[in-house]
Structure 1
């Protein structure tokens, strides 16, 4: 095992993959800004050196001193050897349902913090169920969903809670994504698609998992926030359908933490996609229905995985998006908060009157799927390095909202391209 003097602050594991390579580009300036040391890891040392050579040639940076560590997700001893050489491991190797648990286990054994960009509820909740106590005892923080899924929604809700100044009853999120101009080719990489396919295929795992993880239900409040299937949102000028990603499950885990440990009123949440045209709603509905049906069968999953461009309408490919396409992409996430201006004494107290206060938050950024996601991931790792004293307990497995609520991560994200703002209400 490595001694303290041999450790670097951050190792990017999976640096030869699509997201991992973007993270290597992003860590260059961040390392200078924050004064951190770093390395890269993967299963093939020659390919890792090729990544460093490519990045050095394109940036003009001297990367000869960057630590390079070979590690394979199928070799537990190599994972532990890798983890022992970092203070925080940035894990870019997915799908996490197949490859994540072994890395988490190695990090806990080595006393190394771990962040990843998983958008897979089954994986995240299984890790919390089975590894929280061990991570806590070891003083290690394990935080998933530290990217486009689901930092904007989860920390956006924390931001809204802090600004609301009353009793916040519910939050609805509306995600709009697109490009600033028409693009040719995909703008999402195959790895994201693969995680989606297996996540939906194994959706039935969630109920028994949650019964073990959360045996006690959260208190029920009125008015109850209901899930709507398709509706027109006049305020944000678009059609809305339920968001199929992990945001809601991550947000609810944070709300449970706030209620059980901070004695805060748990906020009800629903998440939606905001779509501007009726044609896009129809096309998305057809593709979604095909995706759901095929994901239920092995032969169907094989088709989805073999032909991602066909079944995603051209949005996803094995090669991933070009640099030009990534730069042209953007997200706007609106969070509509509803509640009361008056704050009751206890978090379980019920209000007698209908909600009388609304606050809307907008979170926006460019290149969200990879550039911004990689930066969010790295800033999450730096936050653990610098502000672990502001995080829950002395370690454990947490969603990002619960993990980073009392840190300066929101301010850091705002400085680095993920903008948080309160939208003016009518009459302001």
Structure 2
């Protein structure tokens, strides 16, 4: 039986859900796909219809994510679900299960490794059997990290051959933008509602990967990028745990596909937040560890809930347009006597956690539609990652939006003022 709707935006009444709805409504290829919006409140959905100016061709679906029958009814005749309803530990599993059962494809914004580990264990095989493409983490966590690592590997393989093995891969983040109320709520939920042993298991190296790789560096107060000149300094990056796990899963999936697609057994990925100086990096790291210790205290979490934006709230349009991020990745071969290096740069214009995230998850859903409409063979289903599932097609889509620039080249360590 065919599917009636191409895309369903679940959680359309939230702040990011509204941005996604607006983006899809004004998309240059709008005539090529259909989409619907879904949420718990019929009144709030009606408000979104009025605010965005949606036409009668956009269906409005009332869904209770705590009711499995309601979820199944909503997703079974849809090609791709865009799920923005978090924290996913609370409300995501029923949606993934329903999508896997009904061969509905799925993308979300999950940064929760503990939840991703659970759905991999529970539904990866089911999604594989039904050829359902399930891709968590299709926003700022963790598409930029996955793409930056992928680009450098691709460049080295093009230069040196498809079975080239890559060793160290490091990404440096610089950005301007805010953290959403939903993201903060997710962090607090993890600390209060998820068993500590579950969090610990999900924080382990390669916790999401089907293959165990080489150990990655532990927390450092000062990070440096190998190879890049002048020397780049940085501090621990809050999102690195979520991002590294996704890149490691991409690596593991590609390793299982064979040496021509795999990154190589020596691949080790890390990332950090770029700072201007060694001292600044150290002080930032100290402040982060102090803040982490405070957040472990329940009175501090109570105060945070009072002070931070509530889920569904976000910055002004003007401030979102002023946001940006830039990631530089450098990767080196491990299979040659003299290492060869690649440097890749991913740049985006717009608030990373809001505006650009809405673009990334929307284009991921559209890339899945492209893939499924042109595939001649059986589609590989399962709990996948942006680069293991979509690769170049997603990069091309993002570039066409006009918000992204991608560069990748063989790099010779010399004084490079562009890195500053």
Instruction: Report the TM-score, using the length of structure 2 for normalisation.
Output: 0.84
5 Å-filtered alignment, 1:176-195, equals 176-178=174-176, 187-195=178-186
- Give the corresponding residue for 1:362: 345
The separation in 1 between residues aligned to 2:168 and 2:150, in whole angstroms, is 12
Higher mean C-alpha displacement, 236-245 vs 66-75 = 236-245
The count of residues paired between Structure 1 and Structure 2 equals 392
Q: Which runs of 5+ in 1 are unaligned?
A: 57-61, 180-186, 310-315, 345-350
Kindly state the Cα deviation for residue 232 of structure 1 after the two structures are TM-superposed. Answer: 5.7
Aligned mate of 1:403, from 382, 389, 393: 389
Mapped pair 1:387 → 2:371: yes
The separation in 2 between residues aligned to 1:384 and 1:391, in whole angstroms, is 15
The separation in 2 between residues aligned to 1:396 and 1:42, in whole angstroms, is 26
* 232 and 253 in structure 1: CA distance in 2 versus 1, 3 angstrom threshold: closer
The separation in 2 between residues aligned to 1:42 and 1:164, in whole angstroms, is 45
SS class of match (1:383): helix
SS class of match (1:408): helix
Higher mean C-alpha displacement, 266-275 vs 227-236 = 227-236
Kindly state the Cα deviation for residue 333 of structure 1 after the two structures are TM-superposed. Answer: 0.6
Kindly state the Cα deviation for residue 300 of structure 1 after the two structures are TM-superposed. Answer: 3.5
The separation in 1 between residues aligned to 2:327 and 2:230, in whole angstroms, is 11
Q: Which runs of 5+ in 2 are unaligned?
A: none
Kindly state the Cα deviation for residue 65 of structure 1 after the two structures are TM-superposed. Answer: 2.2
Answer yes or no: is the 8 Å Cα contact 1:154–1:401 preserved in 2: yes
Instruction: Report the TM-score, using the length of structure 1 for normalisation.
Output: 0.82
The separation in 2 between residues aligned to 1:302 and 1:213, in whole angstroms, is 31
* 414 and 53 in structure 1: CA distance in 2 versus 1, 3 angstrom threshold: same
The separation in 2 between residues aligned to 1:37 and 1:338, in whole angstroms, is 43
SS class of match (1:188): coil
The separation in 2 between residues aligned to 1:383 and 1:116, in whole angstroms, is 14
Kindly state the Cα deviation for residue 31 of structure 1 after the two structures are TM-superposed. Answer: 6.3
5 Å-filtered alignment, 1:97-246, equals 97-165=89-157, 166=160, 167-178=165-176, 187-199=178-190, 202=194, 204-208=197-201, 217-218=212-213, 220=214, 228-231=220-223, 235=229, 239-245=233-239, 246=242
SS class of match (2:353): helix
Higher mean C-alpha displacement, 276-285 vs 323-332 = 276-285
The separation in 1 between residues aligned to 2:288 and 2:319, in whole angstroms, is 23
* 277 and 170 in structure 1: CA distance in 2 versus 1, 3 angstrom threshold: closer
Kindly state the Cα deviation for residue 107 of structure 1 after the two structures are TM-superposed. Answer: 1.6
Mapped pair 1:336 → 2:330: yes
Kindly state the Cα deviation for residue 286 of structure 1 after the two structures are TM-superposed. Answer: 5.7
Kindly state the Cα deviation for residue 136 of structure 1 after the two structures are TM-superposed. Answer: 1.3
The separation in 2 between residues aligned to 1:261 and 1:392, in whole angstroms, is 15
SS class of match (1:4): coil
- Give the corresponding residue for 2:288: 288
The separation in 1 between residues aligned to 2:190 and 2:378, in whole angstroms, is 28
The separation in 2 between residues aligned to 1:325 and 1:393, in whole angstroms, is 40
5 Å-filtered alignment, 1:366-377, equals 366-367=349-350, 368-377=352-361
* 226 and 50 in structure 1: CA distance in 2 versus 1, 3 angstrom threshold: closer
